[in-house]
């Protein structure tokens, strides 16, 4: 079951638009904006920085950082998907961000270019996260800051009528939408092997009990996506959606997930 973000440009225009609107809806949700704002606040806002958002998708993160940081900073958004970058350029209000279409492998930047690199829900979607970290390390300045934000997909849960169904669908979703649903648990080891020291980390547990909001938007998106990638049958996806909507209506909704932000500095 291929991760849809592994090679977005091989998907139909309809799928690209669905991914783009999903990334924008998620990224503009107050819960997500707060998490980006929290790591943005750890960066100095009164000195010019050179900042790369690697795997920027529609550019939601770099657009927000551009609003928070010194305006004479240089902002780059890089992605393997020309189609998602096309969407990013549409959402961009001005040309303060440089959008770079890159290939997997080496990055088109000189050694030591960036003060800061952000990877926001990238590493759970790439086949070789260690190679990405090592290449990012090359283009970071010595002592430069890497911020990696990702979901601990293996702990995301959407409660159903019985635990067996909950567990089966949670596990199906985790492996259908990512290559590495446990990336957060692997990151300390991966940082160590690629020349970084972890300087800090923070954890956000997003739980909704009674009514759904943030997670309800994922429920709608995944109920559509899962049958198209044959992760769930139409019937299973409909029943799953129906239970989540019903529990939201009657005030018994429960869904929860954990996001980690890692702060690391380049040692090389």
Ligand X SMILES: C[S@@+](CC[C@H](N)C(=O)[O-])C[C@H]1O[C@@H](n2cnc3c(N)ncnc32)[C@H](O)[C@@H]1O
Chain positions contacting ligand X, by CB under 6 A: 5, 8, 23, 27, 54-57, 60-61, 79-81, 84, 102, 104, 120-122, 125-126, 132
**CB closer to ligand X, 122 vs 183:** 122
253-266 and 50-54 strand pairing: unpaired
**CB closer to ligand X, 27 vs 181:** 27
Q: 135-171 burial string, b = 16+ CB within 10 Å, else e?
A: bbbbbbeeebbbbbbbbbbbbbbbbbeeeebbeebbe
E strand segments, the chain: 50-54, 74-79, 97-101, 114-120, 140-151, 157-158, 196-210, 253-266
Cα torsion for 94, 84, 107, 68, to the nearest 10°? Answer: 40
- What is the spatial distance between Cα 122 and Cα 184, in angstroms, rounded to a whole number? 11
**CB closer to ligand X, 156 vs 247:** 156
In the complex, the smallest distance separating the C-beta of residue 106 from ligand X, rounded to whole angstroms, is: 11
Residue nearest to ligand X (CB): 57
**CB closer to ligand X, 61 vs 174:** 61
- What is the spatial distance between Cα 154 and Cα 175, in angstroms, rounded to a whole number? 9
**CB closer to ligand X, 165 vs 202:** 202
- What is the spatial distance between Cα 57 and Cα 32, in angstroms, rounded to a whole number? 15
In the complex, the smallest distance separating the C-beta of residue 233 from ligand X, rounded to whole angstroms, is: 25
| Cβ(169)–Cβ(150) below 8 Å | no
In the complex, the smallest distance separating the C-beta of residue 54 from ligand X, rounded to whole angstroms, is: 6
Give residues with Cβ within 8 angstroms of 199, minimum separation 6: 263, 264, 265
In the complex, the smallest distance separating the C-beta of residue 185 from ligand X, rounded to whole angstroms, is: 18
**CB closer to ligand X, 35 vs 69:** 35
In the complex, the smallest distance separating the C-beta of residue 137 from ligand X, rounded to whole angstroms, is: 15
E strand segments, 166-240: 196-210
Give helix 60-68 / helix 30-40 axis angle, nearest 10°. 50
In the complex, the smallest distance separating the C-beta of residue 88 from ligand X, rounded to whole angstroms, is: 9
**CB closer to ligand X, 27 vs 144:** 27
In the complex, the smallest distance separating the C-beta of residue 241 from ligand X, rounded to whole angstroms, is: 21
């Amino acid at each position: 079951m291929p991760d849809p973000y592994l090679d977005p440009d091989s998907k139909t225009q309809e799928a690209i638009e669905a991914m783009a609107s999903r990334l924008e809806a998620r990224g503009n949700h107050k819960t997500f904006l707060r998490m980006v704002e929290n790591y943005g606040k750890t960066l100095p806002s009164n000195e010019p920085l050179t900042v790369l958002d690697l795997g920027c998708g529609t550019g939601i993160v770099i657009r927000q950082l551009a609003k928070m940081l010194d305006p004479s900073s240089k902002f780059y958004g890089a992605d393997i998907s020309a189609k998602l970058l096309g969407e990013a350029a549409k959402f961009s209000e001005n040309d303060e961000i440089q959008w770079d279409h890159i290939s997997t492998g080496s990055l088109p930047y000189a050694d030591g270019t960036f003060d800061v690199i952000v990877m926001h829900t990238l590493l759970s979607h790439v086949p070789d996260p260690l190679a990405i970290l090592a290449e990012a390390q090359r283009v970071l300045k010595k002592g430069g800051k890497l911020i990696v934000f990702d979901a601990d997909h293996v702990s995301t849960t959407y409660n159903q009528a019985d635990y067996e169904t909950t567990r089966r669908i949670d596990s199906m979703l985790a492996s259908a939408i990512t290559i590495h649903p446990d990336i957060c648990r692997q990151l300390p080891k991966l940082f160590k092997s690629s020349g970084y020291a972890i300087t800090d980390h923070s954890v956000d547990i997003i739980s909704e009990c009674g009514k759904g909001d943030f997670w309800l938007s994922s429920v709608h998106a995944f109920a559509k996506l899962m049958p198209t990638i044959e992760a769930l049958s139409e019937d299973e996806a409909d029943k799953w959606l129906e239970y989540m909507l019903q529990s939201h209506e009657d005030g018994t909704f429960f869904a929860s997930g954990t996001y980690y932000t890692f702060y690391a500095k380049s040692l090389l």
